[in-house]
Amino acid sequence: MLFWTKLNPTVSIVPVKKLFYKQYLYKMMIYCPAGRTIYHHNEQELEQNLLVRIEMSRRYNFGGSWFSHYDSETLRKFSSLQQLKYFHNLRFNKNKQIKIRIEEPYISIYSNDEKELFDICQEASPDRLIKVYRPETAEAEQSLLNGDIIASKLIDFKLKVYLKPYKFESYSSKKTFKHHLENLETSNRLTKKLSSFLNSDRLFFTGGYFYCDDEDSLFFVKLAFPNLISSIFKLRRLTS
């Protein structure tokens, strides 16, 4: 394990339970106000956009917009042109096998190479490192690479079934789905979100998951609602 706390003593190390984007083992989150500016074509546009954002946030009230979260004082104090330029150039570095995601004021970077993330962090304001996600053990890493999910010891099921956002054709079809899951009560567990939906008068479901032990028990769901199940993952409990 790399010494992340030497880069930032306050960093949180979080165990990974599932591959990110079905591909990456590692993730780090870095504080980076105005992070969306790195999507501009060149550094000159990036710098101009940052100045515009500072000025606009000083003059206008954006109500409930995400833009309103960053007032001009915050951008002036905490946005770093050097940091933004670094991430801008990183986006175009084809030698880096990484994925970048921006959710201001944070930038998340994903990779299968922890050392690569460590090196990036060293160059990109290590004092702004917030969280690092990594497999807890070598056993966990292998399970993740096999496509499994690391399960809590409190979850005594073999499978985790993810459901897509879905609109049932009628209350009758939704009731059929509900009754099927209830008939499997001894071999599955529904989340509060799914239970709440099944007991509501809504037809549109925003997506979720439930646990079960036997994939064969899902045959009816797959047949009657072929577009409902998104994916099925095996649950693994670590031995150590």
**Do residues 50 and 79 lie in contact, with contact meaning Cβ atoms separated by under 8 Å?**
yes
Measured CA to CA, the distance from residue 49 to residue 55 in angstroms comes to 10
Asked whether residue 144 is assigned to any structural domain, the reply reads no
Cα gap 87→93, rounded to integer Å: 10
205 against 240, higher pLDDT: 205
Residues 51, 101 within the same domain: yes
Q: How many CB atoms lie within 10 A of CB 137?
A: 13
Q: Final residue of a domain: which of 134, 168, 198? A: 134
CA–CA dist 51, 112 (Å, integer): 35
Domain annotation covers residue 141? no
The residue to which tokens 């201001």 are assigned: 104
Burial of 167 from C-beta contacts in 10 A (0-12 / 13-18 / 19+):
exposed
**pLDDT tens-digit series, residues 42-87:** 888 888 888 888 777 666 655 555 455 556 677 778 888 899 989 9
Q: Is residue 2 part of a domain?
A: no
The range of the structural domain enclosing residue 225 comes to 149-236
The C-alpha atoms of residue 134 and residue 114 are separated, in whole angstroms, by 8
- Express each pLDDT in 112-124 by its tens digit: 999 999 999 999 8
The number of residues making up the chain comes to: 240
Does residue 173 share a domain with residue 123? no
In a shared domain, residues 154 and 128: no
CA pair distance 181, 175, nearest whole angstrom:
10
Residue 165: is the preceding peptide bond cis (ω within 30°)?
no
Q: Are residues 21 and 125 in the same domain?
A: yes
Q: What is the pLDDT of residues 139-184, one digit of tens each?
A: 999 999 999 999 877 678 889 999 999 999 999 999 999 888 887 7
Task: Judge if 123 and 12 occupy the same domain.
Answer: yes
pLDDT at residue 187 is higher than 80: no
**Among 100, 34, 38, 43, CA closest to 67:** 34
Looking at residue 165, its pLDDT comes to 95
pLDDT of residue 130: 96
SS3 12: strand
